[in-house]
């Protein structure tokens, strides 16, 4: 499994307990860098979803996931 770099940054913002980062690095050894094309698609997604500032990171994550044809895993119900 891998993570988009934006997701990794959100995780690293914590709060983290000692050992959380190391454990996460074993679960997610691949961090997918965001590309300029991801920025463009992310901005387009941001525009069509209403430009809510707290959704920008989610739109960039989605753009990266779309590029790599990722399957999504979430704890949201």
Domain positions in the chain are 2-67
Inform me whether the pLDDT recorded for 77 exceeds 70. Answer: no
pLDDT digits (tens, 9 = 90+) for 45-69: 999 999 998 999 999 999 999 999 9
Query: Structure pTM?
Result: 0.83
DSSP string, 7-68: HHHHHHTS---TTHHHHHHHH--EEEPP-HHHHHHHHHHHHHTT--GGGHHHHHHHHHHHHT
Q: How high does pLDDT run on average in the chain?
A: 93
Inform me whether the pLDDT recorded for 29 exceeds 70. Answer: yes
Predicted confidence band of residue 21 (pLDDT cuts 50, 70, 90):
very high
**In the prediction, which pLDDT does 1 show?**
81
């Amino acid at each position: 499994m891998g993570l988009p770099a934006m997701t990794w940054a959100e995780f690293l913002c914590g709060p983290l307990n000692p050992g959380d980062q190391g454990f996460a690095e074993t679960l997610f050894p691949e961090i997918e860098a965001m590309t300029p094309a991801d920025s463009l698609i992310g901005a387009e997604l941001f525009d069509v979803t209403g430009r809510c500032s707290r959704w920008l990171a989610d739109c960039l994550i989605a753009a990266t996931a779309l590029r790599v044809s990722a399957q999504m895993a979430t704890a949201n119900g």
